[in-house]
């Protein structure tokens, strides 16, 4: 049987017991049985989010959670700050404009992280700013932002801080309450090891006051409905029942392993992947001071066709990695180390990368990447 190993930054591999949970018979969502699932899911999510804030479930991808944050917080004409350092930072700007807000955009060179001081400068210039929208892990570049430093700045103002943690949550540290993050958005198909279709938002009291004051039109994404349903251990609309049931199984893994241990493990997998890339003579796209443990973005030599590399690894050898997005298309590959990936999966991916690079004419000594990763994993 042909291998199908996902080393992509979403969707990620799904563990066997979580797959089994997805196959359970469907139950009705307006029942005490499903309420038990919701309660278990919320408690587990609060553990991973590191928060006591309410968490709302949406039947959507992560973008649905992001849109819900925007349309609930901002009224037409409201000022916001968005940070664009990749495709997903750009999404914050696009969403603000879609709801007729007025975003001030901080354009950050791809591969680098925003300087928190720039956010402070803009907030000082426009104290009426309602919200600051940033990205924990920029999936298109492999960059992690200093959310703790940003939160320290924003919480001294009337603005709320909203973090896209769709790919980062549960993989890199995000201490929602300790740092003072007002809204954190995430989704099922990244670090939570589930199919796409379920999104989550944690909402602080500060953020909810802004939500109540918003005059924006909203219906399905109306978080006031979610809050009312939350009080009754329910959802305002039909939930993604099967994914919620399986989420409970996934969250058991987080608690059994411990969030700190999981983060350390992903860091080790990331370090091994980076060591392999360097041993192959390849450079990392993200700068060293902001490199993420969620995925490794690897710059390719000019004479290597990135599109062909990704296609060959996937279609010939059954190993899926991601290519570049936007102006990076064909120029980088992205290897994920989140979810239920282990060191043997990483070694398999690196071995396949070596084989494919050799086939495409890139000159290097076979095995050096695998050896470099093994050295990290066996330390």
Residue 3 scores a pLDDT above 90: no
Burial class (CB in 10 A: 0-12, 13-18, 19+), 60: buried
CATH code (residue 43)? 3.40.640.10
Domain that holds residue 89: 16-256
Same domain, 266 and 361: yes
When pLDDT is averaged across residues 58-75 and rounded to a whole number, the result is 98
Q: Which of 241, 256, 271 is the last residue of a domain?
A: 256
Same domain, 277 and 192: no
Same domain, 89 and 49: yes
Residue 1 scores a pLDDT above 70: no
Asked whether 198 and 63 are in contact (CB, 8 A), the reply is: no
Q: For the segment 156-215, what is each residue's pLDDT rounded down to a tens digit? A: 999 999 999 999 999 999 999 999 999 999 999 999 999 999 999 999 999 999 999 999
When pLDDT is averaged across residues 322-341 and rounded to a whole number, the result is 96
When pLDDT is averaged across residues 252-257 and rounded to a whole number, the result is 97
pLDDT at residue number 75: 97
Q: How many domains does the chain have?
A: 2
Same domain, 61 and 195: yes
Residue 297 scores a pLDDT above 90: yes
Q: What is the rounded average pLDDT for all residues in the chain? A: 97
Same domain, 79 and 101: yes
CATH code (residue 318)? 3.90.1150.10
Same domain, 265 and 243: no
Q: Which of 238, 256, 274 is the last residue of a domain?
A: 256
pLDDT at residue number 6: 97
Task: Classify each residue of 159-193 as buried b or exposed e, where b means 16 or more C-beta atoms within 10 Å of its C-beta.
Answer: bbbbbbbbbbbbbbbbebeebbbbbbbbbbbbbbb
Is the pTM higher than 0.75?
yes
Asked whether 292 and 168 are in contact (CB, 8 A), the reply is: yes
Ranges of H-type helices in the chain: 16-22, 32-49, 62-73, 87-98, 116-125, 147-154, 176-179, 205-213, 223-231, 241-257, 259-279, 306-315, 343-359, 368-377
d(CA 336, CA 346): 9
* Alpha-carbon distances of 92 from 33, 134, 158, 200, rounded to whole Å: 37, 8, 20, 17
Q: Which of 227, 256, 285 is the last residue of a domain?
A: 256
Write down how long the chain is. 379
Same domain, 38 and 110: yes
């Amino acid at each position: 049987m042909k291998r199908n190993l996902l080393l992509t930054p979403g969707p990620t591999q799904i563990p066997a017991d979580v797959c089994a949970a997805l196959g359970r018979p469907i139950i009705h969502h307006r029942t005490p049985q499903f309420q038990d699932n919701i309660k278990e899911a919320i408690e587990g999510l609060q553990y991973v989010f590191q928060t006591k804030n309410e968490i709302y479930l949406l039947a959507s991808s992560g973008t649905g959670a992001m849109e819900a944050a925007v349309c609930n917080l901002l009224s037409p004409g409201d000022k916001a700050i968005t940070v664009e350092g990749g495709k997903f930072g750009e999404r914050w700007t696009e969403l603000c404009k879609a709801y007729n807000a007025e975003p001030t955009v901080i354009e950050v060179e791809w591969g680098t992280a925003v300087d928190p001081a720039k956010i402070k400068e803009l907030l000082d210039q426009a104290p009426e700013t309602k919200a600051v929208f940033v990205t924990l892990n920029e999936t298109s570049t492999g960059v992690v932002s200093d959310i703790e430093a940003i939160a320290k700045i924003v919480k001294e103002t009337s603005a709320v801080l909203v973090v896209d943690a769709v790919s980062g949550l549960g993989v890199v540290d995000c201490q929602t309450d300790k740092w003072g993050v007002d809204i954190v958005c995430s989704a099922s198909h990244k670090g939570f090891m589930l199919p796409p279709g379920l999104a989550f938002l944690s909402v602080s009291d500060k953020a909810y006051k802004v939500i109540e004051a918003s005059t924006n039109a909203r219906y399905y994404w109306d978080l006031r409905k979610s809050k009312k349903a939350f009080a009754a251990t329910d959802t305002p609309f039909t939930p993604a029942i099967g994914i919620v049931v399986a989420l409970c199984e996934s969250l058991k893994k987080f608690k059994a392993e411990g969030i700190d241990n999981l983060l350390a493990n992903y860091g080790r997998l990331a370090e091994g992947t980076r060591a392999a890339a360097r041993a192959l003579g390849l450079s990392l796209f993200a700068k060293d001071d902001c490199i993420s443990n969620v995925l490794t973005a690897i710059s390719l030599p000019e004479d290597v066709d990135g599109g062909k590399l990704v296609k060959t690894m996937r279609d010939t050898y059954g190993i899926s990695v991601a290519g570049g997005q936007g102006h990076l298309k064909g120029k980088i590959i992205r290897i994920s180390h989140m979810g239920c990936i282990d060191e043997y999966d990483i070694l398999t991916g690196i071995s396949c990368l070596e084989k494919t690079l050799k086939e495409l004419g890139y000159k290097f000594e076979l095995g050096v990447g695998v050896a470099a990763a093994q050295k990290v994993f066996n330390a």
